[in-house]
Amino acid sequence: MQPLDCAMTTELARAIQNLERNGFLDLEVDPELDLVAEINRLKREKNAVILAHYYQDSEIQDVADFIGDSLGLSQKAAQTNADIIVFAGVHFMAETAKMLSPQKKVLLPDLKAGCSLADSCPPHLFRPFKEKYPDHIVVSYINCSAEMKTLTDICCTSTNAVAIIESIPKDQPIIFAPDKNLGAYLIKKTGRDMVLWNGTCMVHEIFSHERIVKLKARHPNAKFIAHPECEPHILEMADFIGSTTGLLKFTISDSATEYIVATEPGILHQMQKASPHKTFIPAPPQNNCACNECPHMKRNTMEKLYLCMTYEQPEITLPDWVIEQGVRSINRMLAISEKAGLGLKKD
């Protein structure tokens, strides 16, 4: 780190003191600074890698070393040779990276970048729920806290969820947590009867059936594509259902030229880049709000990214027992995914 002048040292000490309350280092950033150049310089100097989820702002995606879905991001976090992983995503994703690479420093630009779905399944409530089904195994969507992963047998993401469920013997009963919408979709897709935890994602349950129907009528040639975190009555209308990577790949290989996309609109940046001649319309939410944007993902900004790389804070830390017990469920998921030929190949 560069030597700091006295005023800056005082400011930094104040920002660090307030880190837990604010979630990020609340320091002034010179508006004239070329943040892209500075972030690239910090990456080189610190041997840091930036992993960004598709729901991040486009400028963050453009400065990242890897952009992907939850499965691709965990695979990258497990593989990287960097000393520092900077996670441009939400808290559970950075925790997953820490569990997979405990020796590395993992930074998250804003600790308050949480997830309504992960929050909908607190471990102290899930534990007694699980005890009611002693012969069930627990499959948890990776969108859950690190502690929830210690109560989980196998994690899954929306890319590998079907393969994970199908890898479990048919006579083995399953609890699926925390997303009831993804769970209902998996029951339909695999024919398995699972016990579901009652959690949802605030972004994917906000789409308006009525407004999508009207939009489809105005764009009769558009295909309607949706993420499986959406509610069942929205998924019923879909021409294609998939994870963020699945949706992106579909728009590249499919012959249509217009798509109505029911997931967080951050993904449209990569869709548009991959298919500049096609049109992508975000599916409308229930009110005229921007509530299909994930407020947690959008807490990350270029300024916060620059500050967290400069001062190497906020850092994700986890108790050893959480890492040891939680990583097993992630490693089982990665092994099944590799066997099923899903996600990234090793570098």
Q: Which range, of 20-28, 156-164, 308-316, 338-346, touches ligand 13P by CB under 6 A?
A: 156-164
- The residue to which tokens 């850092």 are assigned: 315
Q: Does 305 bind ligand SF4 (CB under 6 A)?
A: no
Question: Which CB atom, from 42 or from 201, has the smaller least distance to ligand 13P?
Answer: 201
Compute the least distance from the CB of residue 291 to ligand 13P, in Å. Answer: 14
Site for ligand SF4 in 154-213 (CB under 6 A): 201-203
Compute the least distance from the CB of residue 103 to ligand 13P, in Å. Answer: 25
Are 79 and 49 spatial neighbours (Cβ–Cβ below 8 Å)?
A: no
- Of 241, 275, 215, 76, give the one whose Cα is nearest residue 162: 241
Q: CB count, 10 Å around CB of 345? A: 8
Q: CB count, 10 Å around CB of 274? A: 12
Site for ligand SF4 in 253-292 (CB under 6 A): 264
Q: Which helix (H) or strand (E) holds 259?
A: strand 258-262
Q: Which range, of 152-160, 181-189, 284-292, 333-341, touches ligand 13P by CB under 6 A?
A: 152-160
232 cis-preceded (ω within 30 degrees of 0): no
Question: Which CB atom, from 266 or from 326, has the smaller least distance to ligand SF4?
Answer: 266
Compute the least distance from the CB of residue 227 to ligand 13P, in Å. Answer: 6
Sheet containing 137-141: order of strands? 154-156, 137-141, 174-177, 194-196
Q: Does 75 bind ligand 13P (CB under 6 A)?
A: no
Site for ligand 13P in 277-306 (CB under 6 A): none
Q: Render the burial of 215-253: b for 16+ CB within 10 Å, e for the rest.
A: bbeeeeebbbbbbbbbbeebbebbeebbbbbbbbebbee
Q: Does 69 bind ligand SF4 (CB under 6 A)?
A: no
Q: Does 160 bind ligand 13P (CB under 6 A)?
A: no
* Tokens of residue 285, six digits: 């939410």
Q: Which of 150, 157, 167, 329 binds ligand 13P (CB under 6 A)?
A: 157
With CB under 5 to 8 Å by kind, the binding choice for 243 among ligand SF4, ligand 13P, none is: ligand 13P
